[in-house]
Each structure stands twice: as C-alpha cells, then as structure tokens.
Structure 1
Amino acid sequence: MTSSLQIRRATSGDSGEAAQTLGLAFADYPFTRHTVDSRDHRDRVRSLQRLFLTEIGLRCGNVWVSDDLAAVAVWTTPSSVGLDAAFGAIADQVVDLYGDRAEIAARADAATACLRPTDPVWFLATVGVAPASQGRGLGRAVLEPGLQAAKDEGCAAYLETSSPSNVAFYQRLGFAVTGSVSLPDDGPTVWAMLRAAR
C-alpha cells in the first residue's frame, strides 16, 4: 500500500467513477453473473452499482472511497434511516437491470434471507477495488473506517460473499463464516460472515 493513500467519505460527485470501479470489480463476480442478464452485462452491473451507491449508500448509509476512487465500500447501519423506502423507490429499476435473470435474482435473494442476522449489524452492502489497482492494500484500507465505526458502536459487522477467495480475505479481517447456501437455479454458493462486536 502506498504511503500517500487516503481514504475519505464519498460525496455525490464521486458516484460516476465509484460506480465504474464497482462495476469493474463485480463484472465477473459469481453472484452477479448468476443474477444479472448476460446481454450488456457489464453495463447492467455498473448501472446496478451506481443505483445502489447513490440511492442506498449515499442517502441512507455510509460510503468510503480511496482518494483515486479505485476502491469503494458501502455500508448500511442500525441507524440508517429510510432504507425500506429507498429500496422500494428503486425496485422497478433493479428488476429492469436484472433483465431476463430477474426471477432468478428474486429466488437468490429469498435463498440468502435465512443467513442474515436478526440483531442490529453494520452490513457491508458492497465493496470493490478496480482490477488494475488490486494488490495494493486498498480493499483492507477502504473497509477499515466501517469496521472501526461498527466497533466503536459495539456492533457486529456482517457480509455475504459468493467468492471463495473472498472468504479467506475476510477471515483475515476478523470475520467468521456463520452459514452458507447454494443458490437455486444452479447458482454459486453464498457464504455469510460475521465480525463480532468487540
């Protein structure tokens, strides 16, 4: 990691480039490959990420970015206000972007619901590092503010991942696997991971 690396709160002006970073990071991710239409797949993934970043993360949650916007982390928290309304407002757009995989995406969401904790948690909604910038420590760095804030509030942090290599990465950050599910429709495995309140 370079000594000049700065992590800061995201602003609305960051949304285009930050969504591009997330779109690149998730273009070939197992969950998005399973749930997002293959036609114009990369554009759809980028649009989904931008929608989520602007309408959920920036409005209701917490978003941190690296100063070069090569890394982005989006959290929702127990104090996030208006999440249900925000999700409701974008639901039709999300379904349109899922395209011919919309029903598969709905079944995937239903299958993972049983994994989620009932206690209040900081939920890592999405995190990504642009492929060209991976290996610089940006993933860990952009996660640290959220992990520290959860710790300061006495809250656990929770996430889901469909990448086996991500499981090991998150374990190094103190997360433990709390469950897993194989998605229907020949989908990938999703692991639920929790970092206990400390």
Structure 2
Amino acid sequence: MSSAREATPADLDGCVDALAEAFADYPFTRHTIAADDHVRRLRACHELLIREVGLPHGRVHVIDGPDGIDAVAVWTPSTPAVEEALTRAAARLAELAGDRAAMATAAESVLAEYRPPTPLWFLAPVGVRPGRQGRGLGRAVLAPGLAAADAGRMPAFLETSDPVNVGIYRRMGFSVLTEIDLPHDGPRTWAMVRPAR
C-alpha cells in the first residue's frame, strides 16, 4: 500500500475527484447542499475549501492510486488565518448550498457550540474512493496529520455523520465528545476528539 504524501496545488483536481466520489451519498452533505446539480455543487465546495483553506493554511495529505488520487485528508489548525479564510469563503459556500443554505447555517451554528475552544487540528474532510475502501487507506492518509498534532501537542477533532465512522475513529484514539441530531431533520452527527499523544 502506498504511503501518504503532502499534496501540492497540482493535486487539487485529483483531490476533488476523490472527495466527490467519497461524499456522493454522505448524510451531512446531502442535508446541507442542494439536491439540484448536487455533484457539481459538492465538487465546488471541496475545491474551494482545499484551495482557499487547506492548502494555504493547513495540511492536505493524499495517497496515490493506479488511476489518480485514492485518499485525501484535509487538516486545518484553529488559527485566525483559517477563520479569516473560512469567512471569505462563506458567501460562496452559501451560494453552493442553494436551497439548503439555511440548513447548512443551522447545522454549522449547532456544531460550533461543541467545538473545543483550545488550539487543535480539525479534520475536514477525509475521504477514500468507494472502490478503494477497506484497504487501510483511510488510516494511512490520516497518519501524518495525527503525527503532526502529536508533535505539536495538540488534540485532533472531527465531526462525522456516518455511524460506521464512529467505530473506525474510536480505534484510532478518538472518543465521542457529543452526539447531536442536526436541526431541520438533519442527520445524527458525532463530534470526536483525540488527545495529543
């Protein structure tokens, strides 16, 4: 199995391809991004977040496969630069959410209440192409980010709306901080944290 490497701007399209496949039917994005032209909107959201936030202000790791990038992990630190980048992206993200913009805003507002105020590394998003899942690629693409969090003595934090992921992350040292049913009949979402080791 290939090991993870740090992504470059040249990897942007490959990262978006992999994440669009991985998140095609993900409960959170189905709830917060309009069904109309959903795949294009989803791709644009991932592209914006990687280009404007992940690559310049965080860490993006990838695993290459035979037909392109198979796995992607985007980590962002809790810094003013990341907050400013997210603020700049907010209007475009709301536009991409379409008729689900109010649901996206409500979900973000609820989830923000449970995010630890201490410095941390935030995992969002991570994905493995569906045809390549079950081969340890998710764990492998997360390893460099977790190692960086440990080296900086910072906790790692994530949110997932897939109950299967909860067990996977628990095996990687995360514990459930809270479990929330998102507003507007949104999916159940788990906030999880992993202390620095």
Please give the range of the TM-score, normalised by the shorter of the 2 chains.
over 0.9
Runs of 5+ in structure 2 lacking a partner?
none
What is the RMSD of the two structures over their aligned residues, measured on CA atoms?
1.1
Displacement of 1:131 after TM fit? 0.7
SS of corresponding position for 2:173: coil
Give yes or no for contact 1:23–1:42 (8 Å, CA) kept in 2. yes
Task: Determine the C-alpha separation between the residues in 2 that align with 1:100 and 1:7.
Answer: 37
Look up the match of 2:117. 118
Amino acid at match of 1:13: A
The answer to whether the Cα contact below 8 Å between 2:161 and 2:188 also exists between their aligned partners in 1 is yes
1:117-159 CA-to-partner distances (Å, cap 9, x unmatched) read 0111111121000111111111000000000111111111110
Helix, strand or coil at the partner of 2:117: coil
Matches of 2:72 and 2:169, distance apart in 1: 16
Q: Which runs of 4+ in 1 moved over 3 A?
A: none
Residues 37-186 of structure 1 aligned to structure 2 (within 5 Å): 37-68=34-65, 69-78=69-78, 80=79, 82-186=81-185
TM-score normalised over the length of structure 2: 0.95
Distance 1:139 1:86 in 2: 26
Which AA in structure 1 matches 2:94?
V
1:27 alignment counterpart? 24
Check 1:113–1:81 CA distance in 2 against 1; reply closer, same or farther (3 A cut). Answer: closer
Q: Does 1:187 align with 2:186?
A: yes
Taking the aligned partners of 1:73 and 1:40, their CA distance within structure 2 comes to 25
TM-score normalised by structure 1 residue count: 0.95
Paired residue secondary structure (1:37): coil
How big is the shift at 1:84? 2.4
Question: What whole-Å deviation, never above 9, does each CA across 1:62-84 have from its counterpart, x for those lacking one?
Answer: 00001231100000124x56212
Q: 1:61 to 1:81 in 2, by over 3 A?
A: farther
What is the total number of aligned residue pairs between the two structures? 194
- Determine the C-alpha separation between the residues in 2 that align with 1:193 and 1:89: 26
Give the AA of the match of 2:97: Y
